[in-house]
Structure 1
Amino acid sequence: MRAPCIIVCLLLGAVSAKTVIQQAHDLHATTFTSLVARAGLSHQLSSQGPFTVFAPTNAAFAKVPSDVMTKLSNDKDLLTKVIKYHVTAGVQLMATFGNDIEIGSWANGYKIRINRYQNGQVMTATGSTISSRDNIVTNGVVHLLDEVMFPLPEKSVLQYCASNQNLTQLTYSFVRANLQYDIEGGPFTVFAPIEAAFDALPTGFLNTEFLTLSASRNLLQYHYVRGTYYSAGLRDGETLSTVQGTDVVIHKNSGAVMVEKARILQADIKVTNGVVHLIDKVLLATDHVSGESAPPSIG
């Protein structure tokens, strides 16, 4: 609990005489406050606390597909779970957080992952950019989000890859390279080539006559970095050091995000130990293969 922080701020005149629900409403998160009411949580969030509320803006809810919004409206249990995922106990001020910190949400068993990028200029909560921070009120604090958060799935990187038919070859490669235990650590950011990316490789590229076990591990470890890098935290020209040791460069242009020559097709797939981005090419570092048996490079 961080109630003493509120007391200090009250003495300094920095606290609004509102509840977290009133503050969220006044910050134009009215869709959120309406859904809070529909879930039957308004009274509790107005009369108890302190709470930290991550309130998606109206624009954030406008991004949610209509069928998902309909399901939220018709399924009170699901709605309650999603709303509770946006609430934590105590006063959680963004200035107090480091990077890749998980905090327990009101939704039992589900955690919110806080990330800091660019020396704290950009902060995210489970991948959603925090657009307005530390709006302190009488029973807590409100942070505005530009996207709606959904409870993190109960799948790790490897479990997610194994469950996705478009990542069959990547999953097989992780196991064949004996990286299935390594990739369960983390947190990691994984740039995951889809099936078509592997199919585009020269025939036999992944067979043992072209790649030793060591080279296979290098190839795969070139596809993930330590830490959680959601798309909101990626900058044009930024270099990320892969587990393999070679850097990859991020390129952002006209809405497209590239990792070296690979395009991110689907970003910000949340997993329990990081985040996965689907890419359209297998990433190749110059030192992955060498000698006469090396296959031709692919652009």
Structure 2
Amino acid sequence: MKKYFPLKAGVLALTLFAAGCAKNKEVAPTITNIAVTNPDFQTLEDAAIRGNVAVLLGNKNDADPSGNFTVFAPTNAAFARLGLNSAADLTALQQPFLRNTLFYHVFSGTLPGSALTPASTSGSALGITRRIIQRADGSKYVNGSKILGTDVAAANGLIHPIDKVLLATGADVLNSALALQKGDVFVKPELTFLVEAVVYCNLQAALTGTATTPKLTVFAPTDQAFKDLGVLLNVPLNVPADIRKLPVATVTAVLLNHVIIGGTQGGKFTPELPENSTIAAAGGPIALGAFTNGVLTAKGNGNTAPANMVIPDVQCTNGVVHVIDRVLLP
């Protein structure tokens, strides 16, 4: 734990950075104070300021009798996995989405490490639950994020550092993709080719659902992945509408090769997927690689090289989406 939080229990002459006012008296370190003073959490501090939650986490929790919050805190390296290395990079995200993402890391009350038992769940300030996963080696994850340590005490709660940013959309897979396509998540639209392909093949219903429907695990190719496919097929795919140059049956078969519906592999986060094995998508088998640094590669029968996970472990109401950099060919 000292690697992440070298602070000792005691008092610190700190200001609540986000409030912008200096104080000349010693105060116990709050969650915000700790983020401000620890270089491993510079990006989290920047995100808290841009997301307008720094002041909230610098004070007692009025909704909890003990006045506490519990925060799963992504390190700088966790943000860097999404290409977010600085305050300037955070402007690539829409502010409401960033704020909701931060709320997804917060539990109202005290959630000690001892309560993070395998298969347990916890609520979040976003209103969406998270679950604890334990791998055979004993390592623990919250959704797809490895828990690097537990029970770092702050004046207003606890901090558990994690190695990935937790992502949840509050919508089903289809509407989550539509949010990306419309630029409601990243300022720059993404998954625009995928959405066009789904509409072209009339597969919208396959990606909708609720918490009570069969869970989906979806591998979602980026726009660049589709453009690269166009080069491979010698059919230029420069804009989403170009998908319609391909036969609808061909596109349908390709799309189905990205979706696992229900069963033992539906709705799975990365630490739950069976590494170095094959899983059955609706359109054919997908070969998964080794579980390395919290992600796995995925390869269709028609691929010469596997796809990498660009944004893994996006929780939707009816499953989990892993954004990948290559289209999986049946």
What TM-score do the two structures reach when normalised by structure 2? 0.55
8 Å Cα contact 1:269-1:276 kept in structure 2? yes
Task: Name the structure 1 match of 2:85.
Answer: 65
Q: Which amino acid aligns with 2:226?
A: E
Q: CA deviation at 1:134?
A: 5.4
Say whether 1:144 aligns with 2:161: yes
Shift of 1:167: 4.0
Q: Determine if the alignment matches structure 1 residue 54 to structure 2 residue 80.
A: no
Q: Output the CA distance in 1 between the equivalents of 2:295 and 2:151.
A: 31
Q: How does 1:176-187 map to 2 (within 5 A)?
A: 176-185=200-209, 187=215
Q: How does 1:211-230 map to 2 (within 5 A)?
A: 219-225=254-260, 226-230=266-270
Match of residue 105, structure 1, among 124, 147, 152: 124
- Alpha-carbon RMSD across the aligned residues, in angstroms, is 4.9
In the TM superposition, structure 1's runs of 4+ consecutive aligned residues that sit over 6 Å from their partners are 17-20, 77-80, 136-139, 202-205, 252-256
Q: Go from structure 1 to structure 2 and tell me whether the alpha carbon gap of 1:169 and 1:42 turns closer, same or farther (over 3 Å shift).
A: closer
Q: Paired residue for 1:283?
A: 329
- The letter for the 2-side match of 1:44 is K
Match of 2:285 among 238, 246, 271: 246
**CA separation of 1:41 and 1:267: change in aligned 2, threshold 3 A:** closer
Q: Which residue of 2 aligns with 1:270?
A: 314
Counterpart position of 1:7? none
SS of the residue aligned with 1:280?
Answer: coil
* Conserved 8 A contact 2:172-2:316: yes
Partner Cα separation in structure 2 for residue 168 and residue 253 of structure 1? 29
Structure 2: gaps spanning 5 or more residues = 1-8, 11-27, 182-188, 236-243, 261-265, 300-304
Identity value in percent: 24
Do the aligned residues in 1 keep the contact of 2:169 with 2:176 (CA within 8 Å)?
no
From the superposition, tell whether residues 236 and 48 of structure 1 become closer, same or farther in structure 2 (CA, over 3 Å): same
Q: 1:196 aligns with which of 218, 227, 239?
A: 227
- State the structure with more CA Rg: 1
Matched-pair contact (CA < 8 Å) for 2:307–2:328: no
3-state secondary structure, aligned to 1:196: helix
Matched AA of 1:207: P
Deviations 1:54-92 (A, max 9, x none): 133465467732134776xxx9x9987665443212444
Amino acid at match of 1:246: P
- Which residue of structure 2 lines up, in the alignment, with residue 39 of structure 1? 55
CA distance in 1, matches of 2:294, 2:69: 36
Q: Distance in 2 between matches of 1:117 and 1:187?
A: 20
Check conservation: 1:136, 1:142, Cα contact below 8 A.
yes
Paired residue secondary structure (1:65): coil
* Matched AA of 1:42: G
Deviations 1:99-158 (A, max 9, x none): 8x5x4322xx453533525348344335432112456899765322124446x3455422
Amino acid at match of 1:67: A
Offset at residue 223 of structure 1 (A): 1.0
- Structure 2: which amino acid aligns with 1:88? F
Do the aligned residues in 2 keep the contact of 1:192 with 1:276 (CA within 8 Å)?
Answer: yes
1:116 matched to 2:133: yes
Give the conservation status (yes or no) of the 8 Å contact 2:41–2:75: yes
Distance 1:30 1:65 in 2: 11
Separation of aligned partners in 2, 1:170 and 1:282: 12
Aligned amino acid, residue 104 of structure 1: G
Worse overlay, 31-40 or 270-279: 31-40
Aligned to 1:293: none
Number of matched pairs:
255
Structure with the largest fraction of strand = 1
